[in-house]
Amino acid sequence: MKRFLAALVGALVAAGAAAAATPDLAKMSPAELAAFMTAFPKGGELHNHLGGGTPAEDILTWAVEDGLCVDMVELAIRGAGPCTADNLKPAAAVAGDEALRSALIDSLTVRHPGFRDRSGHDQFFSAFARRSVLPRRGGDALAETLDGLARQNTFYAELMVSPQVGTSRGLGARVGWRGDPAATRAALSEAGLEKLVPAVSADTDALEARARQVMKCGAPAAHGGCQVTVRFLFQALRQGPPEQTMAQLQLAVAVIQADKRWVGLQLVAPEDSYDATRYYDLHMHMVDLLTDHGRKVPVALHAGEVTLKLVAPAEVSHRVRDAVEIAGARRIGHGTDLPLETGAAQLAAEMAAKGVLVEVNLLSNQAILEIDPKDHPYAWLRKMGVPASLSTDDAGISRSELAGDYAAAVRNGATYDDLKTSARNAIAFSFLPGEGLWADPNSYRRPVAACAGQIGAETPHGACAELVARSDKAREQWRHERLLKAFEAAR
Ligand SMILES: [Zn+2]
């Protein structure tokens, strides 16, 4: 009897512990949820454009420091002074005038609905050209992004950047379209496209060196961002003539093969635009050819970031499917049109089976596509078993941060366990090389044999220690599991 009672008490304690470890997010007040999500270890972020992540205030600060001008007609950051033209004002004069400063911040973000009578879509996408401070301040932007993630207890990032845009696209323009992707690829190589790889590596060196300097890495006052592991995704623009997109994609493949900091490629720009629409399938065939259907280098693609309000129904019918089946994408950015695609349920099942992850950007989709987080297909993706991970897209333009996307997911019906899966997916489905800690990514019930019974422990032992030492992915997962355990224990 005594033994039975002890067992019963043990079971009750275990049940109590389990209940405490599974918070009911739907019952939290907005304030409680915000605090919870900021502290929750969100694993990493797989969809974050370095050019859209910076808060407008930092951009204005850098413009003042660099003596740049502001175009007062467009409310846009322009080049260095003297700001003699009628429409220009020194950034310092704008920063010192509260009304002008506020108008500029409105212009660089989507915080002011209906600003200049633009739709959220037009305001969002046009903001990139008005806030352009890359590559000059790329290292500062990188530091700001990494510090922001560390402050939110998140320590892995894959950031999208477009290095050597002018040179690669210029080469594409000179070579021209040679009738098909294979012939164009050969002509680009002959013209020396791959010779740009060292310039990209040098740009990356400079970017990282400046970020480390800003974050004081290695010094006693080192910022939290120094602890964030960062990798880069090479983003090509889907606008303009196809040979220019091809040149960027081809350089991306060469860079990813040569420089370990670059782990995958992406295709970006408004997917409903003229070129993105008319060349959509040609772009998919380019990626298929250049990457050998994703076997040569990992492929993530923006796909299905459209609604029936933005494109004709025929366009909504195939975007994600073509990215997966033609281009060989292992990750899909947005995928909001997926439920409207032809054979949607079969496609979702195919993605679940293949382990193709959707990078879900709730607040960006709210601003650009006018999809309320509660109506977002994220709930349906979870139900269909499609792996998903939450990310910000362009937090500086959205005036948000990753914790906000996690909080918005609760309005979509996501439970604590769903968000834990999102966080774990951000590393398991990253393009980091090496075997992971889990035999069943997106479920997380079975660790790999080497680490059975060890996940969440302080230090790995035996074969698990060897795995963590040799695999970048396992190392990041180990760190994240430690953070999760500490977070849950502290509640
Ligand atoms: Zn994006």
**CATH, residue 188:** 3.20.20.140
Residue where a domain terminates, one of 105, 130, 155: 130
- Cα 333 to averaged position of ligand 1 atoms, centre (Å): 6
Separation of 269 CA from ligand 1 center, angstroms?
Answer: 8
How far is Cα of residue 486 from the mean position of the Cα atoms in its chain?
26
Residues 247 and 160 in one domain: yes
What is the 384 CA–ligand 1 centroid distance (Å)?
A: 23
Regarding whether 453 and 348 lie in a shared domain, the answer is no
- Token pair in block for residue 353: 């089976």
How far is the centre of ligand 1, averaged over its atoms, from the C-alpha of 391 (Å)?
A: 9
216 shares a domain with 70: no
Provide the number of structural domains found in the chain: 3
| In a shared domain, residues 104 and 244 | no
* Cα R_g (the chain), whole angstroms: 23
DSSP string, 416-429: HHHHHHHHHHHHHT
Distance 302 CA to ligand 1 centre (A): 6
Last residue of a domain, one of 76, 99, 130: 130
Note whether 453 and 393 are same-domain residues. no
Indicate whether 374 belongs to any domain.
yes
Expressed in angstroms and rounded, the spacing between residue 128 Cα and the centre of ligand 1 is 12
Pair 398, 453 in one domain:
no
Kindly state whether residues 362 and 486 are assigned to the same domain: no
Residue 74 shares a structural domain with residue 109: yes
Flag whether the pTM goes above 0.85. yes
Same domain, 449 and 399: no
Distance from residue 49's CA to the centre of ligand 1 (Å) = 6
CA–CA distance from 55 to each of 35, 46, 51, 395 (Å)?
Answer: 21, 19, 10, 8
What is the rounded CA–CA span in Å between residue 465 and residue 390? 29
pLDDT by position in tens, the chain (length 491): 445 444 444 444 444 444 456 899 999 999 999 999 999 999 999 999 999 999 999 999 999 999 999 999 999 999 998 999 999 999 999 999 999 999 999 999 999 999 999 999 999 999 999 998 767 899 999 999 999 999 999 999 999 999 999 999 999 999 999 999 999 999 999 999 999 999 999 999 999 999 999 999 999 999 999 999 999 999 999 999 999 999 999 999 999 999 999 999 999 999 999 999 999 999 999 999 999 999 999 999 999 999 999 999 999 999 999 999 999 999 999 999 999 999 999 999 999 999 999 999 999 999 999 999 999 999 999 999 999 999 999 999 999 999 999 999 999 999 999 999 999 999 999 999 999 999 999 999 999 999 999 999 999 999 999 999 999 999 999 999 999 999 999 98
Give the Å distance between the CA of 296 and the centre of ligand 1. Answer: 23
Distance 254 CA to ligand 1 centre (A): 22
Which residue range forms the structural domain that includes residue 72?
Answer: 56-130
Residue 24 belongs to a domain: no
Q: Is residue 77 part of a domain?
A: yes
Report the separation in Å between the CA atom of 328 and the middle of ligand 1, taken as the mean of its atom positions.
18
Residues 308 and 418 in one domain: yes
